[in-house]
């Protein structure tokens, strides 16, 4: 299938229109016309080569919402016209313990990422959601409820699941004391999801400037990570801290904020960090942990949770020709909303 997308041709080229083909449908494939595609901070890191060399031309995007336009003969769950999503993965081995456990993101053979990965059958490079169409096997396609606004739902597929999964892993429920570091694309979803689960959520930020924003989305309080006396007063007051900061930072400011058995979970890949001071970890059986997106079953769960609780990411919808501008802004600021590209007017020539 001939289609069009926005591709980077090198780490520094920026993104430009690029015509390419999607594969012929395999038996279990779903062909999707993409309507909306979220911009994730990791798109920038990946394309810029921050996490290793990339195959170019590369079309990023792993927060994809669209409509089914065709299905292979073995597809059971989807039919033409259905609203669907594709997130960060498009395939995995499907046979290892992690895949059987619905944790395809930890597949022992490595998951196939939505873009920049080798297709498990042909070896061709997968291309992402900044495009008009995508083809994916049905096991990696998600159902999108009618209750969701499709122009705002795309970021649930990465920002949503990335923050939902640790909230579930660490059993967040009514009354759990959750701190969220950073109020960007991930952080604002963490606040919305945790507060919908009944948690007492505090935003931890470099200042209290975003207090109004934090409270508007369900936060109970805001704590400045530069206010020594406020930090001291907040000692041992969190069960879980979700750390969404996308750049290098230290752990030591936050560890004393955890109560006994508290966990500090890193969800943004930031590369090397300074070594943490170990005493506060030992003294309170506190943990530093990591978490990567979530499995397909859990991704469906967060989509349905958002539909049920009327949770939408805060989105600014842009046109495809504004992608480079949006990337610039994302790099300079850490806006507390997601950019979503409206693909509906993108035409294949
Ligand atoms: Zn992402
Ligand atoms: Zn596997």
Let me know: does 79 contact 33? Beta carbons within 8 Å.
Answer: no
**Nearest ligand to the C-alpha of residue 105?**
2
- Report the candidate in 313, 320, 322, 317 with the shortest Cα–Cα distance to residue 339: 317
* CA 318 to centroid of ligand 2, rounded, Å: 36
* CA 326 to centroid of ligand 2, rounded, Å: 35
Q: Note the pLDDT tens digit of each residue in 84-133.
A: 999 999 999 999 999 999 999 999 999 999 999 999 999 999 999 999 99
pLDDT recorded at residue 349: 82
Distances (CA, A) of 217 to 220, 310, 330, 340: 9, 12, 21, 19
* CA 160 to centroid of ligand 1, rounded, Å: 9
* Termini Cα distance of the chain: 12
Residues with Cβ within 8 Å of residue 337, at least 6 apart in sequence: 185, 188, 313, 314, 315, 316
* CA 46 to centroid of ligand 1, rounded, Å: 10
- Distance, CA of 109 to CA of 94 (rounded, Å): 10
- Find tokens 């790099």 and name the residue: 331
Q: Which residues surround ligand 1, an ion (CB under 5 A)?
A: 40, 42, 158
**Nearest ligand to the C-alpha of residue 139?**
2
**Nearest ligand to the C-alpha of residue 156?**
1
Q: Note the pLDDT tens digit of each residue in 135-174.
A: 999 999 999 999 999 999 999 999 999 999 999 999 999 9
List 221's β-bridge partners, or say none.
202
Phi, psi (rounded to 5 degrees) for 281: -70, -50
* CA 185 to centroid of ligand 1, rounded, Å: 9
- Find tokens 């704590």 and name the residue: 223
- Distance, CA of 10 to CA of 58 (rounded, Å): 8
pLDDT recorded at residue 209: 93
Phi, psi (rounded to 5 degrees) for 162: -60, -35
* Residue 258 token pair: 């955890």
Q: What is the pTM of this model?
A: 0.96
List 341's β-bridge partners, or say none.
37, 318
Distances (CA, A) of 46 to 38, 136, 207, 210: 15, 21, 29, 29
Q: Note the pLDDT tens digit of each residue in 246-296.
A: 888 999 999 999 999 999 999 987 778 888 999 999 999 999 999 999 999
**Nearest ligand to the C-alpha of residue 39?**
1
| pLDDT average, residue stretch 300-315 | 98
Phi, psi (rounded to 5 degrees) for 164: -65, -40
**Nearest ligand to the C-alpha of residue 338?**
1
* CA 196 to centroid of ligand 1, rounded, Å: 22
pLDDT recorded at residue 204: 97
- Report the candidate in 248, 256, 191, 259 with the shortest Cα–Cα distance to residue 221: 191
* CA 45 to centroid of ligand 2, rounded, Å: 25
pLDDT recorded at residue 247: 84
- The sign one gets for the Cα dihedral 131, 136, 141, 143 is positive
């Amino acid at each position: 299938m001939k289609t069009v997308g926005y591709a980077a041709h090198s780490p520094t080229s920026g993104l430009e229109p690029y015509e390419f083909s999607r594969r012929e449908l395999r038996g279990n494939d779903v062909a999707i016309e993409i309507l909306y595609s979220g911009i994730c901070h990791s798109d920038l890191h990946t394309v810029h080569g921050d996490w290793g060399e990339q195959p170019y031309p590369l079309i990023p995007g792993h927060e994809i919402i669209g409509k089914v336009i065709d299905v292979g003969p073995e597809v059971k769950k989807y039919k033409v016209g259905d609203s669907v999503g594709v997130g960060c993965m498009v395939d995995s081995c499907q046979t290892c313990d992690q895949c059987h456990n619905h944790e395809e993101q930890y597949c022992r053979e490595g998951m196939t990422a939505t873009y920049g990965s080798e297709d498990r059958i042909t070896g061709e490079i997968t291309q992402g959601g900044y495009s008009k169409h995508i083809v994916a096997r049905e096991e990696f396609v998600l159902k999108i409820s009618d209750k969701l606004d499709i122009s705002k739902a795309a970021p649930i597929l990465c920002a949503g699941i990335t923050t939902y999964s640790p909230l579930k892993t660490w059993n967040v429920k009514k009354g759990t004391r959750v701190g969220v570091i950073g109020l960007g694309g991930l952080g604002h979803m963490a606040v919305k999801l945790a507060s919908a689960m009944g948690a007492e959520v505090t935003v931890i930020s470099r200042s209290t400037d975003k207090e109004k924003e934090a409270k508007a989305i369900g936060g109970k309080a805001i704590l400045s990570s530069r206010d020594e006396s406020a930090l001291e007063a907040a000692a041992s007051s969190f069960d879980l801290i979700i750390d969404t900061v996308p750049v290098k930072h230290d752990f030591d400011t936050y560890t004393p904020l955890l109560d006994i058995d508290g966990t500090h979970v890193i969800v943004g890949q930031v590369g090397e960090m300074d070594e943490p001071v170990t005493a506060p970890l030992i003294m309170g059986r506190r943990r530093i942990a990591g978490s990567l997106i979530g499995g397909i079953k859990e991704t469906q769960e967060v989509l349905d949770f958002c539909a049920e609780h009327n949770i939408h990411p805060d989105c600014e919808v842009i046109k495809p020709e504004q992608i480079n501008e949006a990337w610039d802004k994302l790099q300079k600021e850490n806006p507390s909303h997601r950019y979503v590209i409206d693909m509906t007017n993108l035409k294949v020539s």
